[in-house]
Structure 1
Amino acid sequence: MTKPPLTIHLAAPRGFCAGVDRAIKIVEMALAKWGAPVYVRHEIVHNKFVVDGLREKGAVFVEELDECPTDRPVIFSAHGVPKAVPAEAQRREMIYVDATCPLVSKVHIEAERHADAGLQIIMIGHEGHPETVGTMGQLPDGEVLLVETEADVATIDVRDPEKLAFVTQTTLSVDDTIGIVAALNARFPKIVGPHKEDICYATTNRQEAVKAIAPDVDAILVVGAPNSSNSRRLVEVGAKNGCAYSQLVQRSGDIDWRALDGVRIIGITAGASAPEVLVNEVIDAFRARYDVTVDVVETAVERVNFKVPRVLRDVPV
C-alpha cells in the first residue's frame, strides 16, 4: 500500500545545548576517573533516557547529599545547587564536582554581586524548579523573592522599592518574561536588571526555531521530558505562534497517531536535554507510516563549548 506523503520541518538548533553536553560528559569522565559508583544529586539533566543511560554505566542518582557515602564522588546537576550543598560536602570531606551550567553560574554570580551592593533580588522563575531553588539558595532567606507571573509583581512585598535587582531562570519563555520584566520596571522604576535577560542562548535559539516553523505546519512535536522547563516552553511557543496542535513526547511510543490523522506537514524539535537519538527515533516512526521528506529549518548556528571542571581535565576524552 502506498504511504501518504508527509513533510517534516526539522527545527535547528534543537536538542542538547553546551551546558547539557558538558554535564553528561562530567558524569562519564568522573566514572572514568574514579570508577563506579559515582553519585549524582538530582537528575544531571531532565531526561529519563539520558539518566537511565548514565545509571547503566554506574551513576547513582539521589535527591539529597546525606544519601551519598562520604568515600565516593558526588556530582551536582546542571541546574545548580544552593550554597549550603557544596558547603556540606566540604564539611563531610567529600570529593564533589559541580556540573552547574556556566550560564546558570553566571546568574548566581550576578545575584551575589547585587546583594553585595545592598540590593534585594527578585527572581523570575518557576517555584520548585531545581534551577530556581539553586539560585535562590545562593543568598540568605528573604534576600531573593520569587515571581512567576505578571500578577505576582503587583503583590510582592519588598524591603525597599528603590534597592532592587532582578534575575531570570535561564529556561523560561522569552516572550512571557518580557511582560514580567515590564511589570517590574513599571512598579519599581529603579530596579536593576541584567544587560539582557538571563534566558540562555540555547533556550532563545530553540524558541526562535519553533517560531519559524509554527505558522507553516499542521502539528508540532517537541521531544523532551515532562519535567524539562525548556521543553515545555517550546510546546507553549508552538501553540502561541500559529500551530493548532503542539505536543510534548518523550519517545516515539508517546505519539498520538489518531490526533495526527490527516496531517501533511509536521514540525519536530527537541528540548535542550533531549538527545538526537530520540529525535531520529521519532522521525523513523513517521517513516514507517508515511513517505517522509525532511526539511531542516535552521535559524541559528551554535558553536558554544564549555570546559569541564579542572579536576577532570586529566581524564582522556
Structure 2
Amino acid sequence: MTAKSPLTIYLAAPRGFCAGVVRAIRVVEMAIEKWGAPVYVRHEIVHNKFVVDGLKAKGAIFVEELTDCPDDRPVIFSAHGVPKSVPAAATSREMIWVDATCPLVSKVHIEAERHSANGLQMVMIGHDGHPETIGTMGQLPEGEVLLVETPDDVAGLQVRDPEQLAYITQTTLSIDDTADIVDALKARFPAIVGPHKEDICYATTNRQHAVKAIAPKADAILVIGAPNSSNSRRLVEVGAAAGCDYSQLVERAANIDWRALDGITSVGLTAGASAPEVLMDEVIDAFRDRYDVTVEMVETAQENIEFKVPRVLRT
C-alpha cells in the first residue's frame, strides 16, 4: 500500500451557517411542531438542497408561488425576503403566514421605504432575478427601484432627478465588486445617499475576509455551497481574485474533481452561509481518505449573533 501524500487543509473561520439561515431553518421546524405537517414554504427557505431535503423529510412542502399553497395550511416566506404583495395576498386569503426573512434583509427593506418616503428614488445593486433582489425591489411601487449589476450599468441609468437618489445593495454580494459600483454611482451622481450602515451582511463580509486570508497560501480553494447560492458563488470569485488559480464551488464531497487537484499540497476549504457543517465534515473525510491530512484553522473573525424567531412561533 502506497503512503498517502501530505496535504494541509486551511479551514476558513467563520464559514457555513449564518444567524439568518439558522433562524430560517428553525422557523420551518417550529412551524411543523406548532401546526403539524405539512407546512408550505414559498421558495427554497435557504439555497441548499441538503437543508431543503432535510426539511421536506420533516413535513415541509416547497413551492414557487403563493398560488401553489392551500388556504388552510401555514405558509413560510424564505430567508431571502418577498415583495410586499406576497404577505398582502396571504392576508387577503386569511392564511397563517410566517416571515422567515433574514433581519438583515428586512433592514434593507426598511431603508428603501424610508428613503422613498423622503422622496428619493432608489438604485439597487444586486443580481437580476435573485429572490432577494425581487423581494427588495418589491417593497416599493414599480419604477421606484432601479437595478444595477455592474459599474457599466450605472452609465445607462435613467433617473427621475439626479439630486434625489439613494442606493441599497443585496446583502450577499462581493464587497470589492460592490465598492466599484458604488464608486461609479458616486462619480455620476455626487448627491446620492448611501446606507446608514453597510448593507452587505456581516456573515458575507466575514466569510470573504477568511477566504482572502487563505487564498495566497492554498494551491486550490473549494467552497461548499449550492450553485444558486449568491454568497457561495461570491466566495469562489473572491478566492480567485485573491490569488488562488483553482477556486471552485462544490455541493458536497461527491462533486469534487479529484483529477483537477492532482499534485496539490494544500487546499483551502470554506462553506457558504447556507451550507451545513455536516457537508464540510464529509469533504474533510474525503480528503483524509486520499491524503495524509493536517488541518489548520484560519480564523479572521468570531461570530456570536443570534436572531429571534417571529413572535407567532414563540407564543
Q: Distance in 1 between the 2:197 and 2:4 partners?
A: 48
Aligned-pair RMSD on alpha carbons?
0.5
Q: Output the amino acid matched with 1:171.
A: T
1:71 matched to 2:72? yes
- Cα distance per residue 1:42-61 (max 9 Å; x no partner): 00000000000000100000
Instruction: Name the counterpart of 1:202.
Output: 203
Q: Distance in 2 between the 1:179 and 1:5 partners?
A: 40
Q: Distance in 2 between the 1:123 and 1:197 partners?
A: 13
Instruction: Name the counterpart of 1:287.
Output: 288
Q: Distance in 1 between the 2:185 and 2:197 partners?
A: 15
Instruction: Name the counterpart of 2:171.
Output: 170
SS at match of 2:70: coil
SS at match of 2:171: coil
SS at match of 1:268: strand
Q: Output the amino acid matched with 2:306.
A: N
Q: CA deviation at 1:77?
A: 0.1
Instruction: Name the counterpart of 1:57.
Output: 58
Instruction: Name the counterpart of 2:125.
Output: 124
Percent identical: 78
Instruction: Name the counterpart of 1:311.
Output: 312
Q: Distance in 2 between the 1:195 and 1:189 partners?
A: 17
Unaligned runs of 5+ in 1: none
SS at match of 2:283: helix
SS at match of 1:161: coil
Q: Distance in 2 between the 1:224 and 1:91 partners?
A: 37
Q: Output the amino acid matched with 1:73.
A: P
- Cα distance per residue 1:8-61 (max 9 Å; x no partner): 000000000000000000000000000000000000000000000000100000
Q: Distance in 2 between the 1:172 and 1:196 partners?
A: 15
- Cα distance per residue 1:104-132 (max 9 Å; x no partner): 00000000000000000000000000000
Q: Distance in 1 between the 2:66 and 2:179 partners?
A: 36
Q: Distance in 1 between the 2:245 and 2:167 partners?
A: 34
Q: Output the amino acid matched with 2:128.
A: E
Within a 5 Å distance, the mapping from 1:39-118 to structure 2 comes to: 39-118=40-119
- Cα distance per residue 1:224-272 (max 9 Å; x no partner): 0000000000000000001010000001000000000000010000000
Unaligned runs of 5+ in 2: none
Per the normalisation by structure 2, the TM-score is 0.99
Task: Count the aligned residue pairs.
Answer: 314
Instruction: Name the counterpart of 1:144.
Output: 145
Q: Output the amino acid matched with 1:204.
A: T
Instruction: Name the counterpart of 2:253.
Output: 252
1:10 matched to 2:15? no
Q: CA deviation at 1:2?
A: 1.0
Q: Distance in 2 between the 1:22 and 1:266 partners?
A: 31
User: After TM superposition, where is structure 1 displaced by more than 2 Å over at least 4 residues in a row?
Assistant: none
Q: Distance in 1 between the 2:252 and 2:298 partners?
A: 22
Q: Distance in 1 between the 2:193 and 2:182 partners?
A: 11
Q: CA deviation at 1:196?
A: 3.5
